[in-house]
Amino acid sequence: MRQTKYIISLLVIVLAITSSCTDKVYETFMANEPVYLSYEDLRSAVKMTTAREMNNPGKIYFKDQYIFINEKMKGVHVYDVSDPANPQNKGFIEIPGNVDIAIKDNILYADSYIDLVSIDVTSFASIKETGRVKKIFPYTLPTYDTKFPLAKLDETKGVVTGWEVKSVRQELEQRYYPTYYRYESMSMDKTYSSNGGITGSSGTSGSTYGVGGSMARFGLYESFLYIVNQNSLLTFKLNSNSEVTLLNTEYVSWNVETIFITDKHLFLGTQNGMIVKSLEVPERPSQKGSFSHMTACDPVVIKGDLAFVTLKGGNTCRGTLNQLDVVKMSNGYSQFQLLKSYPMYGPQGLGIDDDILFVCDGDAGLKIYNVADPLAITQNLIISFPSINAYDVIPTNNYLFMIGEKGFMLYDYSNIENIKQIGIIPVVKKA
């Protein structure tokens, strides 16, 4: 009996030791090791610096005499285009993790990784952060080398700004972090050298709101800021002290991509359709209607009761459609009729000024149409610029601001029969 008790006790000890050892089994392998920017550094990084060249431009925004060009995940280039043929580089606003901006009066609102930041740009020589809403956006990751897995992530260390492929040692059975991306890479070409810096103390003034391109996720109406983010619509109140208050987060659809505001309505572009919301009560937008289509990326612009929607297929956009849809809206934007679809090559952003529609059609270039007859758009092509890969446009005051692979281009369309390029700020391709 005594021997049996001894054997049982020994087995219990062995099992305990074995169990404790299995909790500490490690593996060593090559992986993408995250490079972090601490939250402290992230939240003290906003500043105006000297002018720099464009390497990886993203979205564009126009306010008064200035064009703001996003440098993906880095910040914003500021150019004075009061003389459109001779844009002047005013400097660069460093905003880590930035993709979108919007400007009301002299306050610039920008995403900065997981935060929404407010910046006073009354004077570009002395910009200052005036407010920040922390942890309002999802914790997202940049692209990585898919030949290797992701190493363990630690969100407490800060945001991930990049990766280093290296040997890591960590626990076996590590569950890898789900990943999605905030931006696509764009191939760039043409070498360009830029000198200069912050000149003078000018800043934004004049009109209340700026104008974004059709790819924008930020929209302004009265004293409210609306942001679409993956599957949600976020509504913010813009306070008189330049601070921002989140009022509401509403699920709207999967893969919400763009926002367009006109006639007291929000028009949201998603990968499977367009959603319309009324701003009759701006604190809480209400659903008016929706229009569905096959899966594709789809920015939208509005002219009266017509919606012009470009559908783009491909890896990121999932679908296979490449076309321009013209949708008739009625009954207070609650009923929809597809009037006609026009085949395109790879359309992205678009813009409209009266009856003139500007379409960025990927490698097929910039196309400009007269859309007075929405049933005969392709028969009324005014001009095309096939040598450029265009991404997005802003038409205003007879000038067209366009961003694409080769950089930022300016066009004068005051004479619709003689549209001409008048300026360019080229991209510098990194080696």
Residue 206: the pLDDT is 61
- Torsion over CA: 245, 254, 392, 196 (sign): positive
Other C-beta atoms closer than 10 Å to the C-beta of 102 total: 25
φ, ψ of residue 216 to 5 degrees: the values are -65, 145
For residues 90, 237, 73 and 253, what is the CA-based torsion angle, rounded to 10 degrees?
-140
CB 396 within 8 A of CB 354: no
Q: Whose CA is closest to 184, among 320, 59, 23?
A: 59
| Token reading at 211 | 């104008």
The CA distance from 325 to 345, in Å, is: 13
Neighbours of 405 (CB within 10 A): 18
By CB atoms closer than 10 A (0-12, 13-18, 19+), residue 195 is: exposed
Residue 117: per-residue pLDDT: 97
Q: How far is CA 229 from the centre of its chain?
A: 9
pLDDT, position 294: 59
The single-letter DSSP state of residue 15 is H
Answer for the pair 65, 58: CB distance below 8 angstroms, yes or no.
no
CA atoms of 238 and 223, how far apart (whole Å): 5
Q: In this structure, is the dihedral angle defined by the CA atoms of residues 97, 297, 68 and 248, taken in order, positive or negative?
A: negative
Three-state DSSP state, 326: strand
Q: What is the pLDDT of residue 231?
A: 87
CA 385 to each of CA 20, 263, 367, 394, 416: distance values in angstroms, whole numbers, following the listed order: 68, 32, 6, 16, 14
| Site of tokens 């005036």 | 130
Below-50 pLDDT ranges, the chain: 4-18, 20-21, 174-201
pLDDT at 183: 44
Query: In the numeric block, which tokens belong to residue 23?
Result: 């909790």
Please write the tens of the pLDDT for every residue from 346-400: 999 999 999 999 999 999 999 999 999 999 999 999 999 998 898 999 999 999 9
pLDDT at residue number 242: 80
What pLDDT score does 243 carry?
Answer: 84
